[in-house]
Structure 1
Amino acid sequence: MTRLRNTLIAAATPLALLCACAQPDGAGAAPGQSASQASAPTSGEGANYLVARTESYGGFVPPDRTVGSLPAVSVYADGRVITEGPVPMIYPGPALPNVQVTQITPEQVQELTRQGAAAGVRNGTDFGRPNVADAPTTRVTVRTEQGTQSVAVEALSESQANDPMLTQPQRDARKKLSDFVKTLTGLPGEGKSQKYEPEEMAVLARPYTDPGGTDPKSPEIAWAGPALPGQYLNAAFKIGCVTVAGAELDKVLTAAEKANAMTPWTSGGAKYLITFRPLLPDESGCSTFTVTKGNR
């Protein structure tokens, strides 16, 4: 299977200094490193630096529905914009998500970082806590000259403008951030979007339960990848994770094309429901879902 390899490294050149100095969550040099050593990008990875992202998590949704969810928008240093595209309104839905990639210009990427800083995406900004229960949290990340800045805001879209729990400065901060999120989710790409072809796929498996009812059941498919369920991400819900890449990924994708979201997959004498989660350019391995936000 041919991989989509967007190698527009030249487009990332204007961002070299911006991306090189950024560390996760504004972290500085590691012990024994100089600032220049800590900021130097790994050779060949400049295009994969995450520049901006918006995503949601939490709220009144069970973990088995949210573990492995895709960020709404991810923007990279070479101008790639990766989002989840539309899916057919059928039940059960397809097994594989529709992940799309479009392209913006280097100038647009730089403008996003400027807008993000102006919108208050920086450590310590006070967005308050509105009087809204069970609403999701919106996390916005922007890579700036000061490092990676990230804010997590409860009920960004659900809170009322006159919420008595919020001060006027907090309301103003929320409005600026909300406008920036709308900018991210409405980015115009250059040319037609293309299917995102990941180099690595996470496979999130949980025990299969017969849904009952009279609807026809999806036929079982024998799992051809690593033994399931793999490493548990959420032991309470028995959600496990394995990853596949290379020829093994090709084999798994071929089988998944014939499956749907309710297909029972058999492995080691047990049945599993599987969520396929393409790993994005800045992600690697099952630790993607355990190192941030307690099982994103």
Structure 2
Amino acid sequence: MTRLRGTLMAAAVPLFLLAACAQPGTTSAGSPASRESASSYPQGGDETQDGDKLVARVESVGGFVPPDRTVGTLPAISVYADGRVITQGPTPAIYPGPALPNLQVVTLSPDQVQQLLKEATEAGVRSGADFGRPNVADAPTTRVTVTTAQGTQSVAVEALNEAQVNDPMLTDAQKTARKNLAAFVDKLSDLPAAAEPSASAPYDAESLAVLARPYIKQQGDDQPAQTEMAWPGPALPGDYLNPAFKIGCVVVSGAEADKVLAAAKKANQMTPWTAGGEKYLITFRPLLPDEKGCAQFKGNR
């Protein structure tokens, strides 16, 4: 299947785990060697799992954001059985931003993946763990999921970074648990990149989800009018994910995706797309290795 190559900006990935990514013997992201070695990675004790199996993920959900604006949000970090780590790279500080997200991928060794899971367990990533509910309104929830020998473990922590140290709604045990988890997430996402720049590469998605909603110019928007573009892909809006929000979804791949990407590279996040006499605002969402279509966008992400 044709991959979506050359569409995402190259950049270093801020992960503490990548310090040894460029060691001799480390395979490049998505290479045949890395996929063939997938069975050596920890997958809940089942060595038959393939390299696209999710090992760990950090994502933000909810918060003071309209639900229709969070559909298709990318996870901050996704780690897979073959060692691939996919993150969101830096984007230009401009408005509107590029239409295509900047996803980057590096590959960890089996030992690094094992260490990641060990540290996740030590940080309290265990289903049912008590992190309390702080006295903070409208803050996002941080969800951390890992796959261990005991199965999938997941925690969802409200206001992980927004809660005050002396929040009266939290017990001492809950404060300690939150501190440990926050430190683990920080190590994954906030520290400067330690890998060689050549260790990071654009993520080559095999398929691209197109999330389309009716185009409505925002009141009070004093930005210059955006240039309309003719939609080159399949019929829009596709299947509605949520009829109340009028957000449709179609998936493109292969030669069809090539045409869509060629047009998207000339667009931005606020470009009006015209199709069938209608006008749409489109979010381009590369599908991650564990994602198979539009169905996952009907959930809470």
TM-score (normalizing by structure 2): 0.84
Deviations 1:11-44 (A, max 9, x none): 43432xx3164xxxxxxxxxxxxxxxxx5746xx
- Alpha-carbon offset, residue 242 of structure 1: 1.0
1:121 alignment partner AA: V
1:202 aligned onto 2:209: yes
- Alpha-carbon offset, residue 189 of structure 1: 4.0
Deviations 1:52-79 (A, max 9, x none): 1101010001123211111111111222
- Alpha-carbon offset, residue 6 of structure 1: 3.1
Residue 16 of structure 2 corresponds to which residue in structure 1? none
CA distance in 1, matches of 2:3, 2:162: 42
Residue 19 of structure 1 corresponds to which residue in structure 2? 43
Residue 35 of structure 1 corresponds to which residue in structure 2? none
Residue 64 of structure 2 corresponds to which residue in structure 1? 60
- Alpha-carbon offset, residue 262 of structure 1: 1.0
- Alpha-carbon offset, residue 104 of structure 1: 2.1
CA distance in 2, matches of 1:65, 1:101: 25
SS at match of 1:272: strand
SS at match of 1:182: helix
- Alpha-carbon offset, residue 10 of structure 1: 4.5
2:262 alignment partner AA: T
Alpha-carbon distance change, 58 to 2 in structure 1, aligned in 2, over 3 angstroms: closer
CA distance in 1, matches of 2:206, 2:290: 11
CA distance in 2, matches of 1:199, 1:157: 34
Matches within 5 A, 1:131-210: 131-185=135-189, 186=191, 188-189=194-195, 191-210=198-217
Residue 89 of structure 2 corresponds to which residue in structure 1? 85
Gaps of 5+ in 2: 6-29
Overall identity of the aligned pairs, in %: 62
Please point out which of 101, 105, 108 is paired with 2:105.
101
1:6 alignment partner AA: S
1:204 alignment partner AA: L
1:244 aligned onto 2:252: yes
1:118 aligned onto 2:142: no
1:254 aligned onto 2:262: yes
Gaps of 5+ in 1: 22-38
Alpha-carbon distance change, 165 to 203 in structure 1, aligned in 2, over 3 angstroms: same
CA distance in 1, matches of 2:243, 2:261: 26
- Alpha-carbon offset, residue 215 of structure 1: 3.9
Q: Is contact 1:11-1:105 (8 Å) kept?
A: no
1:194 alignment partner AA: A
CA distance in 1, matches of 2:116, 2:194: 12
Alpha-carbon distance change, 205 to 2 in structure 1, aligned in 2, over 3 angstroms: closer
Q: Is contact 2:104-2:200 (8 Å) kept?
A: yes
Residue 275 of structure 1 corresponds to which residue in structure 2? 283
SS at match of 1:169: helix
CA distance in 2, matches of 1:214, 1:13: 54
1:118 alignment partner AA: E
Alpha-carbon distance change, 268 to 114 in structure 1, aligned in 2, over 3 angstroms: same
Q: Is contact 1:104-1:188 (8 Å) kept?
A: no
Query: More deviation in 127-136 or 97-106?
Result: 97-106
CA distance in 2, matches of 1:76, 1:205: 29
CA distance in 2, matches of 1:123, 1:246: 39
Deviations 1:62-120 (A, max 9, x none): 12321111111111122211111111111211110111112222211110111111111
TM-score (normalizing by structure 1): 0.86
Deviations 1:175-234 (A, max 9, x none): 111111112214744643111110011111110013465643222212122211112223
Q: Is contact 2:44-2:148 (8 Å) kept?
A: no
Alpha-carbon distance change, 239 to 47 in structure 1, aligned in 2, over 3 angstroms: same
Residue 20 of structure 2 corresponds to which residue in structure 1? none
Using CA pairs under 8 Å that are at least 6 residues apart, name the structure with larger relative contact order, 1 or 2: 2
Alpha-carbon distance change, 20 to 169 in structure 1, aligned in 2, over 3 angstroms: closer
The number of residues matched between the two structures is: 271
Q: Is contact 1:20-1:41 (8 Å) kept?
A: no
SS at match of 2:43: helix
